[in-house]
């Protein structure tokens, strides 16, 4: 990857996608959007990846959406189609990854940056972060799947208010709305907090995490009867796996279980 979209995978299986353009508030230009999508695909194809953290460089911005200075030069409809397709598909793929995705929101998330936030499974923000679904101020709707995900996260009424007003709100308000799950104290680095969270997840059974994520997303889209059938299938399939047998053995032997011992 280029220096503007950084990707790394450590020995614990924690992958990190970092948007590294702080001088432009981590706005995504055309090339960065394609590279962002490439990283998501690379993680999907990496069997050793256990958790993905998405964050931004610096302290001012997480991601401020698409690069308006560049987009200003492309009023043609084909540019809109490209912008929608590349990032829309990438964020949809995030929800399909069989691993947890943590958004480590190190600063402001505006426009498309807020849409990236909604595509993360778990979201932690520094207390100084600010949020705005600012698309309507540019004469647009959300374009990366953010509206639908926001409705599922906070409900239709709250989503309407955020999307129609484009208002600016802080991390505490985001926490109360349900847009994020946790905040960090002002003196604690949000990426370090996200890494601690990621390492906790790495110690949990990988197959069960994947199944639970798939089940939860399906539950937001399908009738309850179908979800119950899907849940039964996943539950039964996991029953005889090494991780469940290890959990039973650890309970019987009064010790902590050690999961993911089999590749």
d(CA 14, CA 27): 24
pLDDT at 242: 96
- Residue 74: per-residue pLDDT: 64
* Per-residue pLDDT tens over the stretch 165-189: 999 999 999 999 999 999 998 789 9
CATH domain 5-202 topology:
2-enoyl-CoA Hydratase; Chain A, domain 1 (3.90.226)
Backbone phi, psi, residue 80, to 5°:
-65, -40
177-208 as b/e: b if 16+ CB within 10 A: bebbbebbeeeeebbebbbebbeebbebbbbb
Asked if 192 contacts 102 with a C-beta cutoff of 8 angstroms, the reply is no
What pLDDT is stored for residue 207 in this prediction? 97
Q: Quick one: average pLDDT of 225-233?
A: 95
* 80: confidence class by pLDDT, cuts 50, 70, 90: confident
pTM: 0.95
Query: What per-residue confidence (pLDDT) applies to 82?
Result: 82
How sure is the predictor about 72, in pLDDT bands with cuts at 50, 70 and 90? low
In the block, which residue shows the tokens 């280029």? 2
Q: What is the pLDDT of residue 228?
A: 95
What pLDDT score was predicted for residue 230? 95
> What's residue 81's pLDDT?
85
Q: What pLDDT is attached to residue 249?
A: 97
Domain ranges of the chain: 5-202, 206-252
């Amino acid at each position: 990857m280029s220096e503007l979209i950084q990707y790394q995978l450590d020995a614990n299986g924690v992958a990190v996608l970092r948007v590294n353009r702080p001088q432009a508030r981590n706005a995504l230009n055309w090339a960065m959007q394609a590279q962002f999508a490439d990283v998501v695909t690379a993680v999907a194809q990496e069997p050793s990846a256990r958790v993905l953290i998405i964050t931004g460089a610096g302290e001012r911005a997480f991601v401020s959406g698409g690069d308006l200075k560049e987009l200003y030069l492309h009023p043609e409809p084909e540019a809109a189609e490209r912008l929608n397709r590349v990032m829309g598909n990438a964020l949809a793929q995030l929800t399909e990854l069989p691993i947890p995705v943590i958004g480590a929101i190190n600063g402001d998330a505006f426009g498309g940056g807020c849409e990236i936030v909604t595509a993360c499974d778990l979201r932690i923000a520094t207390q100084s972060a600010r949020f705005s679904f600012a698309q309507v101020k540019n004469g647009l709707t959300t374009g990366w799947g953010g509206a639908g995900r926001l409705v599922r996260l906070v409900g239709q009424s709250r989503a309407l208010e955020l999307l129609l007003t484009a208002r600016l709100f802080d991390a505490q308000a985001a926490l109360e709305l349900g847009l994020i799950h946790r905040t960090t104290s002002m003196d604690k680095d949000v990426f370090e907090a996200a890494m601690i969270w990621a390492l906790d997840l790495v110690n949990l059974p990988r197959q069960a995490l994947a199944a639970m994520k798939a089940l939860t997303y399906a539950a937001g889209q399908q009738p309850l009867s179908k979800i119950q059938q899907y849940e039964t299938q996943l539950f039964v399939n996991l029953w005889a796996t090494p991780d469940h047998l290890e959990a039973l053995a650890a309970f019987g032997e009064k010790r902590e279980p050690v999961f993911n011992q089999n590749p």
